[in-house]
Amino acid sequence: MVISNKPLQFIIAILIACLPVFGFSNTPSESTPVQTETTAVAHEAAPTSGEETSEIKEQIKEVIGHHVLDGHEFSLFSDSETGAHYGFPLPIILWDNGVQFFSSSKFEHGEAVAESNGNFYKLHHEKIYKTDAAGTLTGDEHHPTNAKPIDLSITKGVLTIMVVALLMFLLFTSLAKSYAKNGGISSGFGRLFEPIVLYIRDEIAIPNIGEKHYKRYMSYLLTIFFFVWFLNIFGLTPLGINVTGNIAITFGLAIITFIITTLTANKNYWGHIFWMPGVPTPMKIILAPIELLGVFIKPFALMIRLYANIFAGHVVLMSLIGLIFIFKSWLGSSLSFMLSFAISIIEILVALLQAYIFTMLSALYFGSAVEEHHHEEAHH
């Protein structure tokens, strides 16, 4: 299909509306973790020492690696001079010969061993390993061989998902109630999202799925659009959240699209996969495995596209901010700051664009699954 310029106009309008809210607050959002965790390095390292510069680079890599990972505590910022961390712990839920439940504060930011019902656990690179009272980890430093219990903890990413789900529930419940109360006229804060809802219906769902079937998928399309968009926006805040940059999350979203497509597909959809009409029989045998492989490639593309764009955006932005601590000159630092600010503005557009693309592709897959049989194909 050919996409008109309406989606571009829609994205530009949303971007302009969001710039006053998110544009200027985004730079400290990503720079906060770097500044708080590398301040000591910036004061201690001399800019002319190659060895100390290399040490700064290594610590910046650690900060970036820590930023893109999920966390078992919600750390807002830390004081590099006193070593104090400011935030709040999250519940740890493990399955290890029964349920083990305790607070992440027992780990003391990864420095201590947590004890629960006679079992000892160590937090290492945001993964929990079973260990002894001394916290011994065997094997490689980055790949310990200790047993890992099943981790069902409420992590930073899980908490963010819960917050976004609650926010969406409150927003759209109030919007639905206003429709019922005012005779189909929206009111309140939720009315700000009414044009987006109508756009998804008129420009995404109906053209790609069709008038006959689109209503079956509207609830999912609306949910996935606002869910991905809100999570992407949360990732641009100073909280250091990277939910949609986690491949496990994008895998789950892609699997849901795959399941809905598979369970709602009609016989015409499966007929075009296993026995394509109008194609010679030998070619049908050859093309059927390829078409079947395409069924699984589609959700895989959904997963990788969202994950790679969001993950790469965080890494690039954090790397540019880290250059400020490496160059330490008015020219290099100023250039790094300007590039970081420009990338952060682009990330606002990417946050919306990725939600739009995920929703659009899901609608395309649904449309192909319920496409009606064309009579002219039967005569070939």
**pLDDT per residue as tens digits for the range 10-36:** 555 454 444 433 333 333 333 333 333
State how many domains the chain has: 2
Question: Do 138 and 173 sit in the same domain of this protein?
Answer: no
| Residue finishing a domain among 118, 135, 151 | 151
User: For the chain, how many helices (H) and strands (E)?
Assistant: 12, 8
141 shares its domain with 166: no
pLDDT, tens digit, 9 for 90 and up, residues 84-136: 667 788 899 999 888 999 888 888 878 889 998 888 999 988 889 999 988 88
| In a shared domain, residues 142 and 199 | no
3-state SS assignment for residue 77: strand
Residue 315 has pLDDT above 50, yes or no: yes
Q: Which one of 123, 151, 179 terminates a domain? A: 151
The residue-averaged pLDDT of 322-351 equals 79
pLDDT at 298 over 80: yes
Contact 244, 250 (CB under 8 A): yes
Instruction: Determine, yes or no, domain membership for 281.
Output: yes
- C-alpha distances (whole Å) from 39 to each of 31, 81, 263, 324 are 11, 8, 53, 11
Three-state DSSP at 86 gives strand
Q: What is the rounded CA–CA span in Å between residue 346 and residue 77?
A: 25
* In a domain? residue 37: no
* Cα separation of the two ends of the chain: 24
* Residue 117, domain extent: 91-151
Q: Are residues 99 and 163 in the same domain?
A: no
What pTM does this model have?
A: 0.77
Phi and psi for 222 in degrees, rounded to 5? -65, -40
Q: Are residues 284 and 245 in the same domain?
A: yes
- Does any domain span residue 304? yes
pLDDT for 321:
79
Cβ(210)–Cβ(322) under 8 Å? no
Q: What is the pLDDT of residues 178-227, one digit of tens each?
A: 887 877 777 777 778 889 999 999 999 999 998 989 999 999 999 999 99
Indicate if 324 and 250 belong to the same structural domain: yes
Q: Any idea which of 76-85, 95-104, 169-178, 280-289 has the lowest mean pLDDT?
A: 76-85
Domain boundary among 134, 151, 168: 151
Q: Quote the CA–CA distance of 55 and 47 in Å, as a whole number.
A: 11
- Alpha-carbon distance of 160 to 124, in angstroms, equals 22
170 and 269 together in one domain: yes
* Residue 77: closest CA among 28, 36, 38, 41: 36
Residues 95 and 118 in one domain: yes
Q: How far is CA 265 from CA 130, 220, 221, 253, in A?
A: 45, 16, 17, 18
Q: How far is CA 128 from CA 92, 149, 151, 199, 346, in A?
A: 10, 7, 8, 44, 36
pLDDT at 21: 39
165 and 127 housed in the same domain: no
Residue 52 lies in a domain: no
Q: Give the whole-angstrom CA distance, residue 250 versus residue 231.
A: 11
Same domain, 147 and 192: no
Pair 238, 302 in one domain: yes
> Does 171 share its domain with 273?
yes
Nearest Cα to 131, choosing from 123, 121, 141? 121
